[in-house]
A and B are shown apart, each in its own frame.
Chain A
Amino acid sequence: MSLPDRIDPRPPRRIYRWDLDKTYLQTEFDSLRDLLRTAFQKAHEKQAVPGASALIRELAANGDSRLCIVSGSPKQMRSVLEEKLKLDGVVWDEFVLKDNVGNLMRGRFRALRGQVGYKLPAILESRANAPVEAEEVLFGDDAEADAFIYSLYADMIAGRVDERVLNQILAAAAVYPDEAERVRTAWKKIPVSDPVRRIFIHLDRLTPPAHFSNYGPRVVPIFNYFQAALVLLADGHLTAPQVIKIAVEMVQTAGHNIITLSNSFQDLLRRGLPLQQAAAALVQALEGPNALLQALRPVPDIISAFTKRLAALGTPPPPPPVQAVDYLDLIHHALPRTHKARKTH
């Protein structure tokens, strides 16, 4: 038997793309004071959103995946952010930060707050180097334009957006010409495929979920990462015991309890997510031997709470219909919010 002359890592089967602030980290930057505090925080002072690190670790544990982080935080924060991720046991493959100082020096003030001209080329360039068959799940938040950018990205590589519409979007989002050129160049390198399975939007600002209904069922607004884990269980990315591990971390570190978890579960069912089988798998896993469960309440209580929330609803509603996204109509979602708009949402 001959050995191969090179040992390359296996190509990723799945790619998980994360934003950082308000998606992974509990960051406040609505005021100058918040910004300064965030800038001077040490790694151990930064707080992760409950369940986020556990979810990333469980997704990574299945192997064959890549974690790509594209954050709007400035490059100068790289060391402290990397230290925080290491403290949480998060291993990443790509970590892109925004060159805010460079933008400032070049007088590109629109780029300081604009997200489309920064994130869209970054994730397209990353995708250009990924295997065509790799599936994607994306995580963002409701503070900025994540739902818009991620959906546009998914529809661009799936061939559902044409160049004329893209150009109109880039113009409306006031993207600088060189950024627009990066978008077009990277896009052309990507073979047409439809890899994006889910886009999770962490409701950091508790934006009403209907705000995202125009993006269709691919976008799932979530109040917490237990909800993301349940959907990923239904989608086959996680197993039921892995979901329980995530729930346990949220109970142990963030004050979640059986009521908040069962309410979160019911909330997704009410929004038409097909989670009945996932619920059955979860109940089965809860009934099996699992030392982790000692951290929660007695197992019969958990099963009873989940079963009651399920039964309370009667017939499940149909899932929301798949729909085409009218990006030009939704362009206001992509523009930086004014202080007033942030307050009202």
Chain B
Amino acid sequence: MATKLVTIAFDVMGSDHGPAEVVRGAAQLSLESPHIHTLLVGDRAVIDNALAETKHNGERISVQHASEQISMTEKPGEALARKPDASVSVAARLVAEGEADALVSAGNTGACVLSCARHFQLLPGVRRAALASVYPTRARHGDKDDPFSLILDVGATVEATADDLVTFAVMGSAYARIISRNENPKVALLSNGTEPNKGPRQVVEAHARLASLPGLQFIGNVEGVDIPKGTADVVVTDGFVGNVCLKMLEGVHETVVELAQYAYKESLRWRAGLAMLSGGIQRIKDITDWEQYGGAPVLGFDRIFIKAHGRSRSRAIANAGKVAAKAVSHELGKAIQQGLAR
């Protein structure tokens, strides 16, 4: 069966490493994935200069000029109102108009989500969109032996209702099924105890409804300790708790790296020990390499949006494009709708 052609719009102007890094990622994608076309949205002169110096396939890349950009420090609502030709806004509009099938951006998360909210429609049955994120775990998941689990929401909906949590569970399950090739992902609610009656009212209510939802492998509640263990393939919570968890995981990772650096400098004996462990450390680095995942999806809209990390390098951008193309090809939106209809 011929692979469906997919066009991915890239907001070129958002990355911490500058537009050229996003252009290089898209260029890499044009060489690796013949079925993916890229639409680069941003300052045309900057894009052209970067493309001219980068190995790419010009048959698979087009450019849409956008004269403005939104920085990481700007307030999303104000910035979007002040800058109607901002690259993220133009890119979202082009996706909404069907010029591209999905959007990838490494820019200001708030501006990205707000642009999507303005141009895309929420899927029937979805009240609030959810920002999902992948994190490394001890357990492996799905057919790909994926070392990552999915947590949602991590910031789009600060206070989620029981309805929202059930919707997040269905959306996260559909995403894991398609992207991680995990046919029957284990879904859990994050709470302060595994018993069904533990946690705030909305979590208890969501638990009761998820337990009787067909087509979803709901394993009940999990606690914080289960997150890095990978007890569940999909962890469901509200945006406030999810964001705190995610930031803590990132903090732990950074602390471990700093401790290793400290140990390396402190004593020759420790350095020798680290050298002996280098193979193992590299292996851990490989399996926790978030760049191979590229980005995190915003789930709930009728169009696909993958939020790449602000510090994404070209490989992460290219992988975000592949994830977006996979979500489009496997009709993620339809899969979510089918889950919600049950």
Contact = CB atoms under 8 A, between A and B. Distances in A.
Interface string A252-270: 0000110110111011001
Contacts of B60: 260, 263
A312 B65 CA distance: 6
Contacts of A23: none
A270 B45 CA distance: 9
Given A260-B59, A267-B59, 9 more contacts: A210-B53, A223-B57, A223-B58, A223-B59, A256-B59, A260-B37, A266-B63, A312-B63, A317-B45
Interface in A281-318: 308-309, 312-314, 317
B7 interface: yes
A203 B51 CA distance: 14
A109 to B, nearest CB: 31
Interface of B: 5, 7, 31, 37, 44-45, 48, 51-65, 99
B110 to A, nearest CB: 27
A257 B5 contact: yes
28 contacts: A206-B55, A208-B51, A208-B53, A208-B54, A208-B55, A209-B51, A209-B52, A210-B53, A213-B52, A257-B5, A259-B37, A260-B37, A260-B59, A260-B60, A263-B37, A263-B61, A264-B59, A267-B59, A267-B61, A270-B48, A270-B51, A271-B52, A312-B63, A312-B65, A313-B65, A314-B44, A317-B45, A317-B48
A314 B59 contact: no
Contacts of B31: 206
Q: Is the interface of B mostly helix, strand, loop or mixed?
A: mixed
Given A208-B52, A210-B53, A308-B99, A313 B44 contact: yes
Contact of A263 (B53, B54, B59, B99): B59
A214 interface: no
Contacts of B53: 208, 210
Question: Interface residue tally of chain A, by bracket?
Answer: 20 to 34
Contact of B59 (A208, A224, A309, A317): A224
B336 to A, nearest CB: 27
B57 A206 contact: yes
B48 A271 contact: yes
What are the 9 closest A-B residue pairs judged by CB atoms, nearest first? A210-B52, A267-B58, A260-B59, A223-B58, A312-B64, A263-B62, A314-B65, A210-B53, A270-B48
A207 interface: yes
Nearest to B2: A255
A30 B51 CA distance: 26
Contacts of A256: 59
A260 B61 CA distance: 8
A250 B296 CA distance: 38
Contacts of B58: 203, 209, 223, 263-264, 267
A309 B39 CA distance: 10
Contact of B62 (A208, A209, A224, A312): A312
A252 B59 CA distance: 16
Nearest to B5: A259
Contacts of B64: 312
Contacts of A271: 48, 52
Nearest to B7: A259
A313 B43 CA distance: 10
Given A208-B54, A264-B58, A270-B48, A313 B37 contact: no
Contacts of B59: 223-224, 256, 260, 263-264, 267
Contacts of A345: 55
Contacts of A262: 62
Contacts of B63: 266, 270, 312-313
Nearest to B67: A314
Contacts of B7: 259
